[in-house]
């Protein structure tokens, strides 16, 4: 009989903690057997600021999911976000060693090692080394083995983070005697389940707009070539509305969801909306423009920051991003968010649709990252084009975590 294991996908967000449980039986597939979510505590802009508060919240969410599934979690796949994450594109080079100029396995490994040679300070640790294409004498090749040439190169997009902040997120899980088998950048996890291979091949930008941060990943010719985290999300829109409308956060959030749109139209000046919508004592009437202008400013800031990073990397080439922008995360539900992305980035944009093979309640933007984590748990992502395995993190953090 095939051995089964229960994996937990855990996303510790600024606004919400999300947990999905999946049972993997041999190589036959994965069944989602439990889920839960709760409001976050002790997390700001994707970073844990109060370890105990965050731990209590995450532990409660995991235990609720376990109770729903009537089983225990064997291992955890953990999402990572936060503006402390950075990325570098490194190219490894080696001269083909054989006298007949035929590329052998040793040459390939040498090029890979050369690409990963860059050392970090003690305060930083690598999370992912994501392989990009090989080339021989400047010409791209899918598999260089047994090909002829003199000079072999391979690129890697390498993501690293603050060692202490990464260790804090691991401590949260280890506090209930669970092991973290893998850590995946939130945007990469989302992209894994939202995009078809053909969309990755044609080029796509996945933008995951959460409560406190916005994560993005850019695919070009099937490969991940850029990731980033913007320290702005849906909570900032709510705060802006709270200040601008002079109301509490709860009322601002309700107004954002009920009346909000991600861009301003001239007709908004003449349209009035009620703040609470029940016209009782204390309810007030506002021009819709007062709301849409505030939201537009903050949403435009998010997309403009992403645009600046793409331009800086010389990667904002519409022809290379033919699949356009795919928007996910809880704040991607905001009306007109796709139009706002088009206006800022100059690319076609659409709100994401979750995988069709999961229940409708999970086929929503809030679960994209957690579903992606389960995808990695099932596949292992050994494919070079999409490999995003953490490298060296246990060695770097072992002394901190006493493992």
Domain layout of the chain by residue ranges: 87-159
Question: Contact at 8 Å (CB) between 23 and 11?
Answer: no
Which string of DSSP letters, residue by residue, matches 169-217? Answer: HHHHHHTTT--EEEEEEHHHHHHHHH--HHHHHH-EEEEEE-SS-EEEE
- Could you tell me whether strands 151-162 and 124-136 are parallel, antiparallel, or unpaired per DSSP bridges? antiparallel
- Could you tell me whether strands 16-25 and 4-12 are parallel, antiparallel, or unpaired per DSSP bridges? antiparallel
How many other C-beta atoms are found inside a 10 Å radius of the C-beta of residue 109?
12
pLDDT at 382 over 90: no
Query: Token pair for residue 129?
Result: 């080394």
Residues 6+ apart with CB under 8 A from 267: none
The pLDDT tens digits for 232-256 are 999 999 999 999 988 889 888 988 9
**% of the chain exceeding 70 in pLDDT:** 91
Predicted confidence at residue 287, as pLDDT, reads: 87
Residues 6+ apart with CB under 8 A from 91: 115, 153, 154, 155, 156
Does the predicted TM-score (pTM) go above 0.75? yes
Number of H helices and number of E strands within the chain?
Answer: 11, 18
CA–CA distance, 76 with 181 (Å, rounded to integer): 6
Predicted confidence at residue 26, as pLDDT, reads: 74
State the CATH class of domain 87-159.
alpha beta
CA–CA distance, 393 with 120 (Å, rounded to integer): 12
Predicted confidence at residue 278, as pLDDT, reads: 53
**% of the chain exceeding 90 in pLDDT:** 76
75-80 sheet: strands from edge to edge: 30-39, 16-25, 4-12, 75-80, 180-185
Predicted confidence at residue 270, as pLDDT, reads: 82
Of the listed ranges 1-15, 291-305, 337-351, 359-373, the least confidently predicted one is: 1-15
Predicted confidence at residue 326, as pLDDT, reads: 98
Question: Contact at 8 Å (CB) between 111 and 134?
Answer: yes
Predicted confidence at residue 402, as pLDDT, reads: 38
Q: What is the DSSP letter of 365?
A: G
The pLDDT tens digits for 291-319 are 999 999 999 999 999 999 999 999 999 99
pLDDT at 380 over 80: no
pLDDT classification of 285: cutoffs 50, 70, 90: confident
Question: Contact at 8 Å (CB) between 351 and 236?
Answer: no
pLDDT classification of 29: cutoffs 50, 70, 90: confident
């Amino acid at each position: 009989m095939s051995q089964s294991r229960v994996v937990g996908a855990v996303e510790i967000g600024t606004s919400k903690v999300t947990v999905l449980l999946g049972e993997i039986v041999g190589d036959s597939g994965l069944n989602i057997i439990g889920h839960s979510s709760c409001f976050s505590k002790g997390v700001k802009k994707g970073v844990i600021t109060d370890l105990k508060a965050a731990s209590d919240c995450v532990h409660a969410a995991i235990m609720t999911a376990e109770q729903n599934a009537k089983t225990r979690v064997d291992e955890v796949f953990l999402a990572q976000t936060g503006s402390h994450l950075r990325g570098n594109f490194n190219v490894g080079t080696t001269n083909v060693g054989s006298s007949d100029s035929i590329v052998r396995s040793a040459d390939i490994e040498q090029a890979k090692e050369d690409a990963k040679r860059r050392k970090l300070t003690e305060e930083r640790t690598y999370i992912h080394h994501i392989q990009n294409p090989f080339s021989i004498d400047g010409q791209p090749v899918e598999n260089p083995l047994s090909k002829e040439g003199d000079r072999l190169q391979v690129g890697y997009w390498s993501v690293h983070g603050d060692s202490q902040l990464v260790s804090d997120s691991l401590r949260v899980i280890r506090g209930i005697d669970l092991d973290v088998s893998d850590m995946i950048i939130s945007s990469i996890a989302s992209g894994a389940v939202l995009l078809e291979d053909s969309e990755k091949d044609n080029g796509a930008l996945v933008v995951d707009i959460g409560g406190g941060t916005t994560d993005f990943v850019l695919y070009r010719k099937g490969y991940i070539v850029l990731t980033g985290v913007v320290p702005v999300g849906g909570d900032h829109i709510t705060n802006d509305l709270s200040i601008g409308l002079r109301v509490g956060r709860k009322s601002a959030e309700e107004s954002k969801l009920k009346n909000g749109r991600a861009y301003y139209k001239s007709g908004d000046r003449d349209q009035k909306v009620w703040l609470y919508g029940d016209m009782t004592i204390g309810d007030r009437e506002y021009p819709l423009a007062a709301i849409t202008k505030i939201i537009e400013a903050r949403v435009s800031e998010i997309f403009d920051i992403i645009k600046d990073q793409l331009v800086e990397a010389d990667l904002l080439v519409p022809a290379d991003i033919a699949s356009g922008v795919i928007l996910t995360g809880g704040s991607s539900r905001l009306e007109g968010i796709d139009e706002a992305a088009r206006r800022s980035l100059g690319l076609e944009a659409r709100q994401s649709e979750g995988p069709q093979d999961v229940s409708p309640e999970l086929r929503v933007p809030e679960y994209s990252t957690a579903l992606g984590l389960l995808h990695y748990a099932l596949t292992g992502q050994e494919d070079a084009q999409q490999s995003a395995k953490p490298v060296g993190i246990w060695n770097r953090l072992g002394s901190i975590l006493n493992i």
